[in-house]
Structure 1
């Protein structure tokens, strides 16, 4: 399988994936190259994230989901991202707010993709980028300009100035 498997302290991948990977992975991060990133190789590892880049099918995805207690954070014809079922932005925001005694209703969350859906479903102030899909835009409290146009920064300025109300 052409995928990158990430555990807490290891990244495993085959050379073909690394060669075609969009983001650079340093030698310090890369612990193990393997020519065959098969599910069997990782059954005993505590894998929390799997990035698949191409040449996958729905059956392989379902097997990964079943074997590693994963959920789809992203899926498209050219790639996928699977994360541990409890490792998502929604759970991270809930934990942060709880530990810091902050109401989710008083929080501002920024995002543009399906991996932001768990966060946006919490009901806080959802700042959605204008290039987001309609699936994500339905959660919007406000629409930000694109990241390329400094949309997050511009929206933060509006929030600080009191121009955006919850």
Structure 2
């Protein structure tokens, strides 16, 4: 092993997943090799638990998860390690700002993710796919986006307020979206000026809004405490701005070849793109595997 890495945390979309939203055989093999050498491997994603475990199950992997950008941390068996929710009063303030700026938004809750507009929901996932992958046609992107709803990753509701006032429903995150740069930037400025929230992005046209203490950086700190592994002995891999907090927290950070340029600049190393098993190459380098 070339570095004293005891835990590896990888982002999902645009990082661990290829353009078919699957984990490649190369990535699976590298993760299994790391685990066999006693290294903990976790996923840190903006997805909620339900949507995050789908590609892991398909790949035959059971890994700890930092979900909804750090708002929830789970053990490999799904047990809850940590949760950080927003209040209903927080939601009302965010709702006012987002609707005034005409941003479509989804809510990520303890009971799953919800949309109140299926067409706009498709726009969000198309945006994510376009910005984290390379596709042959728009039809291919739309087909993958439609799977998100068909698989139950996103639920439908007519009324966010009624949903969030249910006793057993708590709010983890709001995912907001607009193609209008001015409105999106103004909404971000208003949110951060008026509220103690963390606002990041997983694609060019969205905002991911969580509690100020719910970031991927805080998520890997929770894993650090849970596994008794210092953050200095962690390696993180990612591609976008919602990965920055964990890149600044971990002892070693790796940017994907397809990462945003600003993300590459803060990382210790740059690996290959997600379509070329960049995660596997980064892990194999740490393990000292020669190709």
CA offset at residue 142 of structure 1? 1.3
Are the equivalent residues in 1 in contact too, given 2:254–2:268 (CA < 8 A)?
yes
Q: Which residue of 1 aligns with 2:241?
A: 114
Show the counterpart of 1:50.
174
Stretches of structure 2 lacking an aligned partner (at least 5 in a row): 1-98, 126-144
Q: Distance in 2 between matches of 1:90 and 1:41?
A: 32
Matches within 5 A, 1:51-90: 51-54=175-178, 57=183, 58=185, 60-61=187-188, 69-74=196-201, 78-90=205-217
Q: Residues 10-159 of structure 1: matches in 2 within 5 Å?
A: 10-15=112-117, 16-22=119-125, 23=145, 24-26=148-150, 28=152, 30-34=154-158, 44=165, 46-54=170-178, 57=183, 58=185, 60-61=187-188, 69-74=196-201, 78-159=205-286
**Residue 134 of structure 1, CA deviation:** 3.0
Partner residue in 1 for 2:74: none
Q: Against the structure 1 CA distance between its residues 55 and 33, is the aligned structure 2 distance closer, same or farther, given a 3 Å change threshold?
A: farther
Cα pair 1:65 1:82 within 8 Å, conserved: no
* Runs of at least 5 residues in structure 1 that lack an aligned partner in the other structure: none
Aligned residue number for residue 106 of structure 2: 4
* Aligned 8 A contact 1:4 1:17 in 2: no
Verify the 8 A CA contact 1:68 1:84 in the aligned structure 2: no
Tell me: CA distance 1:43–1:117, structure 2 relative to 1, closer, same or farther (3 Å): same
State the number of aligned residues. 160
Secondary structure in 2 aligned to 1:121? helix
- Greater share of residues in helix: 2
Report the 3-state secondary structure (helix = DSSP H, G, I; strand = E; otherwise coil) of the residue aligned with 1:72. strand
**Structure 1 residues 13 and 55, CA, compared in 2 at 3 Å: closer, same or farther?**
farther
CA offsets 1:13-50 (integer angstroms, 9 cap, x no match): 2223234342413475555422x76xx66775632211
TM-score (norm 1): 0.76
Please identify, of 45-54 and 146-155, the stretch whose mean Cα deviation from structure 2 is larger. 45-54
Normalized against structure 2, the TM-score is what?
0.47
The answer as to whether partners of 2:216 and 2:246 remain within 8 angstroms in 1 is yes
**Alpha carbons of structure 1 residues 153 and 53: separation in structure 2 relative to 1, 3 Å:** same
Equivalent residues of 2:175, 2:207 under 8 A apart? yes
State how far apart, in whole Å, the 2-side matches of 1:125 and 1:106 are.
8
- Structure 1 residue 119 displacement after superposition: 0.5
DSSP 3-state at the match of 2:199: strand
